[in-house]
Structure 1
């Protein structure tokens, strides 16, 4: 299994996923040369809709799996779909790792509920939906084999952000419309020419394959799945609960490319200068924790860790289990500890983090984090 240097990966403001360094003016300039040939989905006459759920195998609820590599899974891409679907109550939601052991996301560590092998033993007919988050090694054979096997069993495969690269590697996207993060427009078109790639859209739903754009798009994509399963009224209720106004696929990804190269951010190999502790306790919201951890880590200035009263696993609000890195009063020097998570709306945590990043690291840092996450609040 290909692994990452956790400190280097988190320090990077130009994330390296699937062997491609996304940062730097030269890389983005090369993208610009061919990105214009990609279909501009802003011309679509109607928003996307995920096909309504069709019950299978006598299940009372659809079975949804969120899969993660044990090394190099992006925290928000995993936790947001899990959090939205679990809190909605419209599906049975399972967190799945490719192999046994902890899942080291960027930047925190989780213990998931089962493995792909154990999931297959318990559910030989397969899931109804699987979410595939961004992972560093998008060619991991165990991950690709499982994605393909689930698709062959008739499930709908939903990629989040750079998770599209892993799904595209299976061939499932060939001949279908799909999207991904704005920063890989040229790369994905060249690497996977048989996919009908689109830009300027939050998510694309083409039959049994669904794909989303950058980080924050995972929220409306997940709400769109709630709508497909339980209807628009339930989707609207869940949207209000997590703190978003709507879940339309309409989106202007071009607007988030205004700072190519992120010139004022720390270099990829720069060492974060602040050890940042994020307090975790039982019942904390998965989405709020993920947004907080990812936002600070994206600044390049901080190395974020989960801190708790002990190293005992901490069960979050909807079933994910985080493994604390640090213990309160322990020997590791911590330059800064955040206030405990108190956000009533999950997305409010990102607003709180960006406001603090503006204060501590400056508005440029906060803006670049928001641009990368395709978050409209600080554009």
Structure 2
């Protein structure tokens, strides 16, 4: 869920809305502080085994994975991190798709050239994918994405939503009658609008009869590793986790630790004001061979501060280690340039949060982490 994108998009409306809420007294019902994260409930061996079984490839021994993005706006990390993890794993054939020909604009940052369109994918794989991964979209009612995931589900694909991809799944009617989770900002509304869906708390990801859902953005790492384990075995998943800098991929989670507090609202208003005076451009130094996981976490994090936007520097497209093309912002003049970690790309999130804290303060860094639904090591690091 990209709260920064939502507030910047509506600009003055966000300020007016918060002011009206304050006058109406609603502000008083926003908690004054965020409680400390509790130790997540331990997942039983039986539950873990059932989840693993539910994630097994439904058709092929070497599965086909399609990540579907809407050309008009797709969440950065939701789209790129599963692509990077699964590509690096070598256990599946992985395709980044767009609904139309041409680049896919990601939010809050980056523009990429997908491997194919959804129509091209259908022609190549008429029997469908084994897994379809659905990120959060700028428009969760996107008809092209809705029709694609419905058709793939009908062909037997396991449909995996990341973060507010839950909204896309709900609008497609795929969550009715299923256990599910989602990003803390919207999941209550999804559950209210779909009363036959059973919301599962305190789980990073939930797998139920061909439908897999996750909590916030950073859950893209553990659910991707869980898929690697289901496809290629625990040994491969363990080795990959070490390669990328992930400590594990358990579904354990503390859902109650993530919510809006009053200090967040004041921080958002302050940062919006400062951003209007001088919004900063953060240049991400990425060259050919860069890891797409690291690029995604770095750009996504800096795009959520309400004071900055992130761009990839350069004059030519960057081809990542996984083969995906990222288009640079050739005309950008960065206020500061940040480098990617050389090893273990998942640590780009820690690096970004540390940089945000140093530049914009602890309140901004903390709320970026809350937007990502990462309490610190919640990605599995």
- Normalised to the residue count of structure 2, the TM-score between the two structures is 0.84
**Which stretch has the larger CA shift, 188-197 or 203-212?**
188-197
Which residue number in structure 1 is paired with residue 88 of structure 2?
A: 87
Decide whether aligned partners of structure 1 residues 261 and 192 sit closer, same or farther in structure 2, where only a CA change above 3 A counts: farther
Is the 8 Å Cα contact of residues 13 and 300 (structure 1) preserved in structure 2?
no
1:325 corresponds in structure 2 to: 329
Q: Deviations over 1:274-296 (max 9, x none)?
A: 12211221011111001000111
Show the counterpart of 2:241. Answer: 239
1:343 deviation in Å?
3.3
The equivalent residue for 2:218 is: 216
CA distance in 2, matches of 1:129, 1:206: 14
Q: What residue in structure 1 maps to residue 341 of structure 2?
A: 342
User: Which residue in 1 is equivalent to 2:146?
Assistant: 144
Aligned equivalents of 2:166, 2:349: Cα separation in 1? 24
CA displacement 1:197-241 (0-9 Å, x = unmatched)? 222210001021101001111110011111111111111111111
Three-state SS of the structure 2 residue aligned to 1:158 is strand
TM-score normalised to structure 1 length: 0.84
CA distance in 2, matches of 1:378, 1:52: 23
Aligned to 2:132, the other structure's residue is in SS state strand
Question: Aligned partners of 2:30 and 2:337: how far apart in 1?
Answer: 39
- Could you tell me how far apart the structure 1 residues matched to 2:165 and 2:114 are? 18
Q: CA deviation at 1:376?
A: 2.4
Shift in Å, 1:342? 3.0
Any conservation in 2 of the 1:94–1:113 contact (CA below 8 Å)?
yes
Distance 2:306 2:253 in 1: 27
Whole-angstrom CA distance in 2 between matches of 1:261 and 1:181: 20
1:49 to 47, 52, 58: 52
Task: State the partner residue of 1:204.
Answer: 206
Structural mapping, 1:35-46, within 5 Å: 42=41, 45=44, 46=47
The 5-angstrom pairing of residues 1-379 of structure 1 reads 9=6, 11=8, 42=41, 45=44, 46-47=47-48, 48-51=51-54, 53-54=56-57, 56=59, 59=60, 61-106=62-107, 107-257=109-259, 259=261, 262-267=264-269, 271=276, 273-308=279-314, 310=315, 312-326=316-330, 332-338=332-338, 340-377=339-376
8 A Cα contact 1:259 1:368, kept in partner:
no
Q: State the alpha-carbon separation in 1 of the partners of residues 296 and 145 from structure 2.
A: 22
Q: Is the 8 A contact 1:354 1:366 kept in 2?
A: yes
Separation in 2, partners of 1:202, 1:12: 28
Following the alignment from structure 1 to structure 2, what is the Cα–Cα distance between the partners of residues 150 and 215? 23
* Higher share of residues assigned helix: 2
Q: 1:4 maps to which residue?
A: none
Name the CA distance, whole Å, in 1 between partners of 2:232 and 2:302. 35
Q: Kindly indicate whether the alpha-carbon contact (under 8 Å) linking 2:100 and 2:118 is maintained by their aligned counterparts in 1.
A: yes
SS of aligned partner of 2:266: coil
Distance 1:211 1:378 in 2: 20
Distance 2:165 2:7 in 1: 18
Alpha carbons of 1:50 and 1:262: their partners in 2 closer, same or farther (altered >3 Å)? farther
SS across alignment from 2:129: coil
Partner SS state of residue 127, structure 1: coil
Distance 1:301 1:213 in 2: 25
Distance 1:155 1:55 in 2: 7
Q: Gapped runs of 5+ residues in structure 2?
A: 32-39
> Is the CA contact 1:70–1:98 (under 8 Å) kept in the aligned structure 2?
yes
Aligned-residue offset at 1:54:
4.5
Shift of 1:187: 1.0
Structure 1 position 245, deviation (Å): 1.3
Q: Alignment length, in residue pairs?
A: 349
Distance 2:89 2:263 in 1: 38
Q: How far did residue 320 of structure 1 move?
A: 1.5
The alpha-carbon deviation at position 29 of structure 1 amounts to 8.7
Instruction: Write out per-residue CA displacement over residues 220-276 of structure 1, whole angstroms, 9 at most, x where no aligned residue.
Output: 001111111111111111111111111111100211226367123233685362122
Contact 1:31 1:184 in 2 (8 A): no
Displacement of 1:12 in angstroms is: 6.8
